[in-house]
Amino acid sequence: MLKKIYVSELIATWKKFQQMNLLFPFYSSHQQARDHYFAAVKNGKGYRISTGTSELWFVKNEMVEGWQITNLLCLPNSNWQQGIQSLEKAARQQFKQQLALTFEATPILEHWLLSKGYSFTEGQWQKKLIYHTGLVLGGGGARGAYQIGVWQALLEKNIQFELIAGTSVGGLNGALIAQGDYPQAVALWEEIETDKVLEVTFNEVEEIDFSAQVQQLRTFLRTSMKQRGVSSRPLKHLLSEHLVPQKIKTGVPFYIVTTKISAFQEVVISLNHSPASEIIDWLLASAAFFPVMAMAKIGTDYYVDGGYRNNLPVDVALNHQKLTELVIVDVHGPGFDKRYHLPEAVAEIKLASSWSLGDLFLFQQSRSAKNRLLGYLETKKTLGDLQGVRYSFENQADFAVLTKAFIRYSQKQVTLDLEELVPKLQKFFHQSFPIELMSQFFLEFFAYWTRVSPLKSYTLAEFIQIVLRQFELPEPIVAADYSVQEQIEGFIESNNVFSVYRHIVQLAQQPSAFARTYRRWPVQTLLALFINYLQEEV
C-alpha cells in the first residue's frame, strides 16, 4: 500500500528509520540517503510502500509520464527483486506509464536492470510499464451505477481491459463495458427505474418521499412473494435496447457467474463463446436474485443469481488470463465473497465506497446518477488525482498548514500534549493518521454529521465555508436522495440527544470551559475548539 509520509510519522518511527539502507546507489552512503529522505518528507515528497513483511521508503517526483525516483530505502537484507517489484506494483496501482531511477549502476546491477526491462537513457534508468489489466465487478443490484462512474474515471486515463469478470449487476455493467460504449451505459442508468427492471407496478406519487419509498418496498416484496419472484422481462427489454450481443461476443474475454439450481452449483459462462442469441439470457441468469426475482430458465435448467456462490469473481479473472493488475469494484451486494490469492507480481486496485449506495432493489434515476458520480470521484482519489478519506479534495489542499495554525490557536486555550493526543484521536476516528492531517479529519467529521454532499471535488476554502454554513444552519434533507434505511439511520442520529456530535455542539457553546472540559474529553473539546477556530480565524 502506497502512503505519503509526514514528519510526525517519521519521528514516531525514528529508531526503525535509522536502520533503513539504500537499495540502489542513489547516494554515496546510507546516512546521506536518510538525510535526503528526511528533507524530502518535509517537502511532501516522501512515501512508503508496505507489503506485509517488507517496506520500501522512497522519494519521487511526479513527471508527465510517471515517477522519477531519487531515493530508495529498505530494511536490511531486502533484495533488488522484491524492491523493484514493490515499486512497480505501486506505480501500476496509479497507472503510471514510466519509472525512472536516478543513479549510476555497477556492472552487476546494470546487467540485472537490463534483464528487468530498464534502459539507461538521459542519465537515468527508465522503464515503460506494460499493462495487462483485468476488471472484476461484483453484484449489488441498484447500487451498480457506481461501477459506471469507476469506468468513466478509468476511461479518462485511457485504461483498457484485457478481461472482464462480473456477477449479477456486475455482469450487466461488464456487458456495457465489454461492448465499449460508455454513452450507452450512461443512457441505460439514466433511464433505469424499478418498473423498467422488474414487472412490478407502483402507484403514481407526486413526490418520492419516505412513505412513498416504504410503500414501494412493500409493493415489491408483496409482488415477489405472490409470484414466487418478480419477472425480469422489463430488464430483458431494456438490455435489448442498449446492448449489441455481437459486439460483446467478439470483444475482450468476458465471463459472468450464475448459480445452477439443481446442485446449487457455481457456473462460469464465457459470453465470447456463447451464441449471440443467448447472451442477454445469461446476463439475466446471473442477476436473478431469487426469491425476490424469478429464476431464469435456459434450456431445461434453472439459474439464480451468481452472488449466491461467487459475488466478487476475482478467482475467475485470475484463472482465465495472465494479468499485471486487477481493478476490483465491490458495491456491497449480498452473497458469498470467495477468498482469493493474488499472485505476488499482480497489482490490486480495489474500489468499495464507505458511503451507503442505497437500496438493492429500488432503482431510481436520481440515486443512480449520484452513485455514478461517487464512483467517479472515489476512483480519482484511488488513482492519486484527488485526496481525502470520505470526501474529495483538490490535491492543492494543504491540510498540514491548516493543522499547524489550529494547533497554535488551541495552545492558547488548552495545554496540548501531541504525543499523548495522537492515540486518542486515532481511537476516536478508528483510523491511524498523522497529526498533520488532523484538520482534514475534523473537517470531514463535521461535514458527515451536517450532511455535506460527497458528490463534489472541493477546494479547502470552499469546503470550510460549506461546513460552517451547514453547522450554523443545516439545509433540510431531501428524502428522495436517501434510501429508507439511510433515512431511518439519519433520523436516529439527528434525534439522539446523547450523540457525540451533540456533545461537541454543546461544548462549542461554552468556550470559557475549554480548559476544564479538555481534561475530561480531550478529543471532543478539541473538535469544539476547531469549529470555533474556523468561525473566528478562517
Measure the CA–CA gap between 175 and 177, rounded to whole angstroms.
5
Same domain, 213 and 106: no
Q: Which of 93, 128, 163 marks a domain boundary?
A: 128
Same domain, 90 and 147: no
Do 34 and 67 meet the contact criterion of CB atoms below 8 Å apart?
no
What would the 3-class secondary structure string for 76-109 be? CCCCHHHHHHHHHHHHHHCCCCEEEECCCCCHHH
Same domain, 329 and 419: no
Burial 91-109 (b: 16+ CB within 10 A, else e): bbbbbbbebbbbbebeeee
**Domains of the chain: total:** 3
Measure the CA–CA gap between 391 and 449, rounded to whole angstroms.
13
What would the 3-class secondary structure string for 11-39 be? HHCHHHHCCCEECCCCCCCHHHHHHHHHH
Give the pLDDT of residue 205: 40
Chain centre to alpha carbon of residue 178? 22
Do 493 and 502 meet the contact criterion of CB atoms below 8 Å apart?
no
The three three-digit cell numbers of residue 140, written as one number = 449489488
Same domain, 178 and 292: yes
Residue type, 465: Q
Q: What is the CATH number of the domain that holds 305?
A: 3.40.1090.10
Residues in the chain with pLDDT values less than 70: 199-229, 474-498
Containing structural domain, residue 400: 388-537
Same domain, 434 and 348: no
Give the pLDDT of residue 362: 81
Same domain, 445 and 315: no
Same domain, 98 and 140: no
Same domain, 196 and 281: yes
Task: Just list the catalytic residues.
Answer: 168, 305
Same domain, 216 and 300: yes
**Coil, strand or helix at 2:** strand
Give the pLDDT of residue 497: 47
Q: Which of 363, 383, 403 marks a domain boundary?
A: 383
Report the predicted TM-score, pTM, of the whole model to 2 decimal places. 0.92
The three three-digit cell numbers of residue 476, written as one number = 433540510
Residue type, 11: I
Q: Which of 82, 111, 128 marks a domain boundary?
A: 128
Same domain, 430 and 496: yes
pLDDT in tens, 248-263: 999 999 999 999 998 8
Same domain, 164 and 52: no
pLDDT in tens, 469-520: 998 876 655 555 666 566 655 655 555 545 888 899 999 999 999 999 999 9
Do 195 and 165 meet the contact criterion of CB atoms below 8 Å apart?
no
Give the pLDDT of residue 292: 80
Q: What is the CATH number of the domain that holds 80?
A: 3.40.630.30
Same domain, 399 and 525: yes
